[in-house]
């Protein structure tokens, strides 16, 4: 199926067949990335700007590598250090960048909806690399690719997502994607870290982790931000680990072949036991990183194809 | 039309064939209305037969359109002083006239806040010079709206402040608020508060629920409104003050309001037109023109509040006119400024409630005109002999598509841009003088 979107702003507007298209193309890039010559020319001659208004190491590196392997000219802009501090608005920044004629703009921003706003004002393809607590579509796509490779399918799986659901864009994008692919989703976490109205999302909600993990095929752990550990949302780090940290005993409630995932960076001993995270029989955390590059190559490739055929519109 | 004075007789105008909307008697009937010297002189079931009566008078055939008391709008922000680039008394006044609003009761949340008789005098002077409609200023309740020291309530009242409010800055210190209420009571001054628990609502820009969670926006439960209302009502019971809640927007707050009124507390409540006609999902893809304070609620809450207006539990509908320029709205949703302009869209938006069958016109006008006037001790809001001839003539059925750039306000931040609306103001009179319409 065709992929007919100008931007990749979220999972929400994607049809299941479009998700499959991205994942199928990503499989080919996995092969390329594992081969001796890691180069393709899908983005040759195009300019990719990575604009991160929030700190990021791995996502930015992943997008950078993806762009370079496809032959794009890649530029990184650390926005938290630059013009925002001088009072420039997001729109002005967008217009400034627009004048540099980028073809692909990869944006991360601390506010929900900010990437959508920016996408309305530039005439290039925009990829959302995470906006506030809204969406992080490439993370959900790389998670889906990892799951599909491990389990052979994305439908009829029991997927447990554990931790700080309320503040997680990764959780939102994953819930949307895996729901579209017809898997069952359970959310596990303390009620203070559950979003309001979560009962209406078509998911099952557990505050007891052992119950939530029973029969799970996939256990997806989320990072708990340091600033949320100090008594405002949970009483303490150690109580959180006791009740919601993933260890071998709790994982024993899931299926015997359940895989363990984490979007990184991990807090060992807070949300996940260090030994378990390194267990190559259960943990696919390293593979997630690998899939990340391939999925981002696929997403940018598809958007670039549309760029070349679809007439450009500008809104100011 | 200009009203000519004939000899020494006072200016007179006879409105014939009008659909008279009388909120006081709750009637909607065809008749005639006689205006003399800026006041309503008489209401007649039909035009008088005696041709002598027509001599030297202006006769205006209303062609069966609605004639109602002009709207008394509590809570209009005119961004003077401080932000005249967003709105001035001139632009707000012409917008009001075009919207059928004949009295703007203005908010003190300006820069600086209207918290001293000197600033209030400036406002009154600017308003008189520039606004074609009546302007009655409110003053802050505490200095700088900081919730620490009360303003000179007595001096400000003498200078013309009709009510005291810190607007959306909640006085968190209950001792300070209790003293303000007690002092205001001794002067018979009306205190208007914004019931919203500041702790629970801190940082929130939408109402919590499925929609907010999916959009990843920081949200507040509508319970924050009930909590703050509970606190305020306890203090009103303690002090006996005259209290008005600026916006009650959630179902859960309504029983508290009902009980307070039943217990005889001097309490009234308002709601903005946006909370009556829009809900949380209208925000859609982060449309910042739909960001208001308090945030738009669920459809269940909206319907509960509409019913509360119909029953009279909620007394007042206002525009909560809040001009914001493009720069303060073209930002990510969390960073964008709150508020919407509404002076010109208040009446057509209210007509949505009429056309949906939720509220009849006399009930609407009770909330738009009679109740706010009564609450402020004004003679407006009535179609009765002796009342000021502040009138609006409108066609409740005239359809149009709203274009925000045609609004008279300097700021164009309306959530109704591109919306299909029904209900057009044809003419507006203040004190018998036409301020809008041909």
Q: Measured between CB atoms, does A169 come within 8 Å of chain B?
A: yes
CB contact under 8 A, A111 and B211: no
Coil, strand or helix: which one is B38? coil
Q: What is the pLDDT of residue A84?
A: 59
* Domains along chain A with CATH numbers: 7-135+290-309 (3.40.50.1370), 137-288 (3.40.50.1370)
Residues in A closer than 8 angstroms to B219, CB to CB, are 196
Residues in A closer than 8 angstroms to B209, CB to CB, are 196-197, 200
Check pLDDT > 80 for residue B110: yes
Residues B115-170: pLDDT tens digits? 999 999 999 999 999 999 999 999 999 999 999 999 999 999 999 999 999 999 99
Measured CA distances, B174 to B29, B147, B238 (Å): 49, 10, 12
A265 is in an annotated binding site: yes
- Identify the residue whose tokens are 């009566």: B53
Measured CA distances, B115 to A241, B131, B216 (Å): 53, 22, 38
B381: left (phi over 0), alpha (psi -120 to 50) or beta: left
Check pLDDT > 80 for residue B8: no
Q: What is the pLDDT of residue B52?
A: 61
Q: What is the pLDDT of residue B56?
A: 52
- Identify the residue whose tokens are 């549309």: A306
Check pLDDT > 80 for residue B9: no
Check pLDDT > 50 for residue A304: yes
**Is the separation of the CB atoms in B213 and A198 below 8 Å?**
yes
Spatial distance between the Cα atoms of B332 and B326, rounded to a whole number of angstroms: 13
Measured CA distances, A171 to A12, A198, B316, B405 (Å): 13, 12, 43, 41
Q: What is the pLDDT of residue A312?
A: 42
Residues A181-238: pLDDT tens digits? 999 999 999 999 999 888 888 999 999 999 999 999 999 999 998 777 666 899 888 9
| Residues 6+ away with beta carbon under 8 Å from B287 | B415
Cis peptide before A265 (omega within 30 of 0): yes
Per-domain boundaries in chain B: 2-67+390-400+419-436, 70-375
Percent of chain B predicted with pLDDT > 70: 95
The shortest C-alpha distance from A171 to chain B (Å) reads 10
Picking from A259, A261, A267, the residue whose alpha carbon sits closest to that of residue A237 is: A267
**Is the separation of the CB atoms in B362 and B393 below 8 Å?**
no
Mean pLDDT over A145-151 rounds to 98
Q: What is the pLDDT of residue A91?
A: 86
The shortest C-alpha distance from B213 to chain A (Å) reads 6
Q: What is the pLDDT of residue A90?
A: 85
The shortest C-alpha distance from A216 to chain B (Å) reads 24
| Residues 6+ away with beta carbon under 8 Å from B161 | B114, B120, B137, B138, B139, B189
| CA A72 to chain centroid | 22
Residues B193-203: pLDDT tens digits? 999 999 999 99
Q: What is the CATH number of domain B2-67+390-400+419-436?
A: 2.30.40.10
For the domain made up of B70-375, give the CATH fold.
TIM Barrel (3.20.20)
**Is the separation of the CB atoms in B344 and B298 below 8 Å?**
no
Residues B19-29: pLDDT tens digits? 999 999 999 99
Q: What is the pLDDT of residue B45?
A: 85
Check pLDDT > 60 for residue A29: yes
Residues in B closer than 8 angstroms to A90, CB to CB, are 331-332
CB contact under 8 A, A132 and B217: yes
Q: Residue B170: what are its φ and ψ, rounded to 5°?
A: -75, 135
Beta-bridge partners for B154: none
Strand (E) positions, B138-262? 164-165, 190-193, 206-207, 219-220, 242-245
Percent of chain A predicted with pLDDT > 70: 94
Chains A, B: CB pairs < 8 Å: 71
Q: Which residue has the higher pLDDT, B348 or A77?
A: B348
Exposure class string for A228-244: b at 16+ Cβ within 10 A, else e = bbeeebbeebeebbebb
Spatial distance between the Cα atoms of A81 and A75, rounded to a whole number of angstroms: 15
Complex ipTM value: 0.84
Q: A interface mutation test: which of B201, B208, B216 has the most A CBs within 10 A?
A: B216
Indicate if the alpha-carbon torsion angle B46, B52, B57, B63 is positive or negative. Answer: positive
Residues in A closer than 8 angstroms to B214, CB to CB, are 172, 201
Q: In which band, very low, low, confident or very high, does the pLDDT at A313 lie, cut at 50, 70 and 90?
A: very low
Residues B315-328: pLDDT tens digits? 999 999 999 999 99
Picking from B250, B348, B352, the residue whose alpha carbon sits closest to that of residue B305 is: B250
Range from A227-236, B230-239, B369-378 carrying the lowest mean pLDDT? A227-236
Q: In which band, very low, low, confident or very high, does the pLDDT at A81 lie, cut at 50, 70 and 90?
A: low
Check pLDDT > 50 for residue A316: no
Q: What is the pLDDT of residue A232?
A: 82
Q: In which band, very low, low, confident or very high, does the pLDDT at A314 lie, cut at 50, 70 and 90?
A: very low
A38 is in an annotated binding site: no
**Is the separation of the CB atoms in B92 and B343 below 8 Å?**
yes
Spatial distance between the Cα atoms of B98 and B94, rounded to a whole number of angstroms: 6
Of A117, A196, A197, the CB nearest to B332: A117
Residues in B closer than 8 angstroms to A196, CB to CB, are 208-210, 212-213, 219, 221
Residues B41-89: pLDDT tens digits? 999 887 776 656 666 578 899 999 999 999 999 999 999 999 999 999 9
């Amino acid at each position: 199926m065709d992929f007919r979107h100008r931007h990749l702003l979220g999972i929400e507007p994607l049809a299941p067949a479009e998700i499959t298209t991205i994942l199928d193309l990503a499989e080919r890039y996995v092969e390329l990335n594992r081969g001796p010559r890691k180069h393709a020319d899908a983005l040759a001659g195009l300019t990719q700007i990575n604009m991160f208004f929030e700190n990021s190491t791995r996502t930015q590196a992943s997008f950078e590598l993806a762009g370079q392997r496809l032959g794009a000219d890649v530029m990184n802009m650390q926005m938290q250090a630059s013009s925002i501090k001088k009072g420039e608005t997001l729109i002005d920044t967008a217009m400034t960048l627009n004048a540099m004629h980028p073809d692909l703009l990869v944006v991360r921003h601390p506010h929900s909806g900010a990437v959508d706003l920016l996408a309305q004002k530039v005439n290039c393809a925009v990829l959302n690399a995470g906006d506030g607590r809204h969406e992080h579509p490439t993370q959900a796509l790389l998670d889906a690719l990892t799951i599909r490779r491990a389990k052979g399918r994305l439908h009829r799986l029991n997927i447990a997502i554990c931790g700080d659901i309320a503040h997680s864009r990764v959780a939102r994008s994953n819930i949307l994607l895996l729901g579209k692919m017809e898997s069952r989703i359970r959310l596990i976490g303390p009620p203070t870290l559950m979003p309001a109205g979560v009962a209406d999302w078509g998911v099952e909600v557990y505050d007891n982790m052992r119950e939530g993990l029973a029969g799970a095929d996939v256990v997806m752990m989320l990072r708990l931000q340091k600033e949320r550990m100090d008594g405002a949302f949970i009483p303490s780090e150690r109580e959180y680990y006791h009740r919601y940290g993933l260890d071998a005993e709790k994982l024993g409630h899931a299926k015997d072949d359940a895989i363990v995932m984490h979007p990184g960076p991990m807090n060992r001993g807070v949300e996940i036991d260090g030994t378990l995270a390194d267990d190559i029989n259960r943990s696919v955390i390293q593979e997630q990183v690998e899939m990340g590059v391939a999925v981002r190559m696929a997403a940018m490739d598809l958007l670039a194809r549309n760029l070349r055929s679809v007439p450009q519109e500008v809104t100011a | 039309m200009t009203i000519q004075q004939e000899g020494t007789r006072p200016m007179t105008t006879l409105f014939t064939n009008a659909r008279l909307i009388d909120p006081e008697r709750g009637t909607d009937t065809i008749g005639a209305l006689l205006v003399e010297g800026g006041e309503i002189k008489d209401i007649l079931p039909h035009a008088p037969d005696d041709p002598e009566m027509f001599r030297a008078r202006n006769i205006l055939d209303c062609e069966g359109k609605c004639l109602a008391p002009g709207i008394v709008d509590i809570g209009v922000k005119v961004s003077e002083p401080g932000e005249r680039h967003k709105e001035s008394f001139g632009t707000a006044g012409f917008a009001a006239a075009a919207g059928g609003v004949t009295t703007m009761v203005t908010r003190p949340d300006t820069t600086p806040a209207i918290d001293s008789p000197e600033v209030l005098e400036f406002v009154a002077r600017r308003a008189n010079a520039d606004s074609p409609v009546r302007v009655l200023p409110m003053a802050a309740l505490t200095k700088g709206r900081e919730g620490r020291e009360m303003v000179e309530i007595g001096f400000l009242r003498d200078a013309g402040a009709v009510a005291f409010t810190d607007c959306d800055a909640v006085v968190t210190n209950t001792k300070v608020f209790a003293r303000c209420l007690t002092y205001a009571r001794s002067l018979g001054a009306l205190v208007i508060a914004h019931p919203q628990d500041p702790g629970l609502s801190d940082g929130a820009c939408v109402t919590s629920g499925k929609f907010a969670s999916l959009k990843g926006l920081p949200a507040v439960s509508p319970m924050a409104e009930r909590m703050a209302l509970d606190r305020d009502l306890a203090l009103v019971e303690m002090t006996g003050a005259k209290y008005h809640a600026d916006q009650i927007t959630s179902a859960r707050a309504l029983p508290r309001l009902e009980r307070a009124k039943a217990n005889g507390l001097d309490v009234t409540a308002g709601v903005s037109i946006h909370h009556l006609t829009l809900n949380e999902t209208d925000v859609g893809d982060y449309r910042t023109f739909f960001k208001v304070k308090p945030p738009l609620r669920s459809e269940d809450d909206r319907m509960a509040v509409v019913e509360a207006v119909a029953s009279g539990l909620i007394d007042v509908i206002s525009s909560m006119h809040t001009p914001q320029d493009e720069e303060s709205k073209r930002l990510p949703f969390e960073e964008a400024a709150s508020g919407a302009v509404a002076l010109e869209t208040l009446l057509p938006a209210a007509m949505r409630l009429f056309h949906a069958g939720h509220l009849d016109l006399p009930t609407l006008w009770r909330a738009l005109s009679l109740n706010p006037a009564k609450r402020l001790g004004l003679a407006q809001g009535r179609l009765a002999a002796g009342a000021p001839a502040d009138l609006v003539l409108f066609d409740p059925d005239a359809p149009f598509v709203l274009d925000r750039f045609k609004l008279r306000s300097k700021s164009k931040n309306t959530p109704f841009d591109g919306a299909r609306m029904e209900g057009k103001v044809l003419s507006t009179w203040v004190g018998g003088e036409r301020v809008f319409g041909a």
